[in-house]
Chain A
Amino acid sequence: MTEGPPPGGPTARILDRGYRPYRGPRTGVRGAVATVWLQSVQRALGIRRSAWAKVLPLASVAISYVPAIVFVGVVALIPDAREVGELDLPTFGEYFPFIQAAVLLFVSFVGPEILCTDRRTGMLGIYLASPLSRDTYLGAKALATFSVISLITVGPTLLMLVAYVLQGVGPDGPGGVAATFVRIIVSGLLLALLYTAVGLGVSSLTDRKAFATAALLLLMVVVSAFITVLVEESDLPGSLQGLSLLSGPFGLVELVHGERASIPGLGLPAALGGLAAWTALGLGVTHLRYRLLQVTR
């Protein structure tokens, strides 16, 4: 039996609210940038997407944290071993060569996922028909790419620092901890900046994610291998490794941590110069490409 409305109670129901005008506050360009940033970060990490779309980003992030977790675990299980020199765990500066494959993979798909998809699906026209301009759109996309890549360029070493400090085997004193913290942040953000610029630069040249990913992988591997061979076979100065997209930036991390670079002859100016050159090239290509892009259709 269906119960009717209670005696004296409301009997009316709203079936159609109709179209309602909106007269409230609007968030403007800042709100548009924020929503594009959030949507791009979610997309790159597979959030609110199918399970299949989550596999690659989550696997890459997980792999990049595995060495840090292993090192922390070893220190936790054998707390005295490090102090007596039985363990030769890598320093903060030496961490990235351990996760080189994860960095390659992650960087190669984040930029294309964030930038190519909009052109491929026609979203770019919708974005640019909003309060965003080309510059603010690219700014939001760059910020999103930078944020996501920072997950693996800052996160693992930061995790190591926190765990080491909690286990009492971290840097000496609050000053040492603070200095290491700053070095981790600076070196991680520099790496993220470089890979954001290169990732966006290559992704801006095609609207096909697969092409952009393959091109990024090739670029990073081939350039690095070519420079390494050039330096070793032609007796050129080691500072040329600053232009490499793998060993150069990883050497820069060592230098930022005040350690000796594992690449002979690579100094801080050369490493920073190489990073600045690739960053400027990547961002310049992206900006030029989007300035000339026709987006009406």
Chain B
Amino acid sequence: MPVATAAGPSTPGAAPGGAVIRTRGVVKRWGGTLALAGADVEIGPGVTGLLGANGSGKTTLLGLLLGLHAPDDGAIEVLGLDPTRAGPEVRARVGYSPEHHSLPPDVKAVDFVRHVGELHGLPRREATGRASDVLWQLGLGEERTRPLGTMSTGQRQRVKLAQAIVHDPVLVLLDEPTEGLDPVQRDDMLALIRRVGSEFGIHVVLSSHVLDEVERVADGAVILHAGRVVGSGSLADLQASSTGGVVVEPAGDPAAFVAAVEGRGHAVERAGDRLVVAGTGDEVFDVVRDALVATGLAVRRLEPRRRSLEEVFLASGLVGGQAAAEESWR
């Protein structure tokens, strides 16, 4: 199975082989509901998107990674440890930002973040200093003494991120961190998450049902559908398509080039400034190269066509919800 990884920060806490998280055949039922149906996940350093529709098992998987509940079957390894047996040790090195927005309304942001820092083992003086520092880093320096109940959703999402990283974790799990944000706040939050992964050197698992978010910030992705992993790997690998054709961004008039390519039997589609040449395998690259040489067209960009994660998701061929998961698991 490919490891969902790409160039990221240093790899503190990564298990031998580079995997930060590794699960094998994890099954979890909630009563009669099969939440995870044999999930095999391998997540490497950097920012990784955990992608799936609501109810696909993302939150259940995060709970299992934190050791909050035990799997019915399968094995889990986080930072080289089994969270089922070494839950406190794992959780001491992991930060977690829950999905819900409700936080103690009458507690000041800095007190809340300091308290979580102390929970994760920081001495009081250190926790106090770091709480202020982290809130400054996340753009809440002036707001840090405000009660959480008076903050906007966007500010509370930042506070949740701050409490997740205040104790300098090796890995941080973010459950739907852009939920409830407007487009501007969402962009800011995604930039912060990217910064946490690249500048702060913390591995990030970003759980989301929004494909675009994962595409924008993640190095790799794991796609969950009805409790099963239907795609996993670096974003580049997942998006690369051997049947997708070639993207050309011409620097001049492409009419002659289009005619030449279409004359060789390949359809050409215009997408803004770019041309998407349909074709399979290496042959389409040869056709594009020959047409460019023949027409003398300069190009700004020439690359394999990459699929969006949405296309990857749809191409997985797995549709249906609980019934499909039960059937495929059996």
Q: Do A and B come from one complex?
A: yes
Q: Is the CB of A126 within 8 A of B126?
A: no
Task: Please pick, from A17, A24, A136, A296, the residue contacting B133 in the complex, using a CB distance under 8 A.
Answer: A17
Q: Is the CB of B98 within 8 A of A32?
A: no
Interchain nearest-CB distance for B227 vs A (Å): 15
Chain A residues with CB under 8 Å of B201's CB are 21
> In the bound complex, do residue B115 and residue A39 qualify as a contact, i.e. CB atoms below 8 Å apart?
yes
Q: Which residue of B lies closest to A26 (CB)?
A: B121
Give Cα A117–Cα B96 distance, bound, in whole angstroms.
20
Is the CB of A236 closer than 8 A to any CB of chain B?
no
**B166 closest partner in A (C-beta):** A22
Q: Please tell me which one of the listed residues B59, B121, B137 contacts residue A31 in the complex, with CB atoms under 8 A apart.
A: B121
Query: Given the complex of chains A and B, what is the CA–CA distance between A17 and B168 in angstroms?
Result: 15
CB distance from B32 to the nearest CB of A (A): 15
Q: In chain A, what residue has the closest Cβ to B196?
A: A19
Interface range for B: 35 or more
Contacts of A35 in B (CB 8 A): 115, 118-119
- List chain A residues, Cβ under 8 A from B104: 117, 121, 123
Complex formed: what's the CA distance from A232 to B66 in Å? 55
Q: Is the CB of B137 within 8 A of A22?
A: no
Q: 1/0 contact trace for A275-297 toward B, CB 8 Å?
A: 00000000000000000001111
Which among B105, B120, B137, B163 has the highest number of chain A CB atoms within 10 Å? Answer: B120
Q: Which residue of A lies closest to B120 (CB)?
A: A130
Check B13 for interface membership: any CB of A closer than 8 A.
no
A32 and B133 CA atoms in complex are apart in Å by: 21
Contact segment of A48-56, A196-204, A250-258: A48-56
Q: Which of A22, A49, A122, A294 contacts B126 (CB 8 A)?
A: A22
Tell me, in angstroms, the Cα distance from A20 to B98 when the chains sit together.
Answer: 24
Contact B121 A131 (CB under 8 A): yes
Query: What residues on A are CB-neighbors of B168 within 8 Å?
Result: 20-22
Chain A interface residues toward B at CB < 8 A: 17-22, 24-29, 31-32, 35-36, 39, 48-50, 53, 117, 120-123, 125-133, 136, 294-297
24 A–B contacts, CB within 8 A, in A order: A17-B133, A21-B168, A22-B122, A22-B167, A22-B168, A24-B126, A26-B120, A27-B118, A35-B115, A121-B102, A121-B103, A122-B103, A128-B66, A129-B66, A130-B92, A131-B88, A131-B119, A131-B120, A131-B121, A132-B88, A132-B119, A136-B88, A295-B68, A296-B62
